Amino acid sequence: MLRRFSRPQLHSPNAERRAQQLIAASFLLLAAYVGVQAIRTLAAGQHPQTSWVGIGLAAALAITAVALREARDSWRGEGCCDAC
């Protein structure tokens, strides 16, 4: 995915907008998953359990969001620590 956004022809406002939309959609899916699991757990009267799917989704989203931000910043010529 990163390679797709690092191609020169994709360094445009459209590519950045598309990356933002993908991240937003991913977070929306994660929120929907967490919400459905919470409702199911409450409705069944169960105690919450570890959800490895939820943990994996959250980790993948965090890694993807950071990687896309770094790619965007390198395209713009910004460092990860501008105040340093």
Structure-model confidence comparison of residues 55 and 2, the more confident one:
55
Structure-model confidence comparison of residues 31 and 82, the more confident one:
31
CA atoms of 24 and 57, how far apart (whole Å): 13
pTM across the whole model? 0.51
Region 39-53: what's the mean pLDDT?
86
Domain positions in the chain are 2-74
CA atoms of 61 and 20, how far apart (whole Å): 12
pLDDT digits (tens, 9 = 90+) for 31-43: 898 899 889 988 9
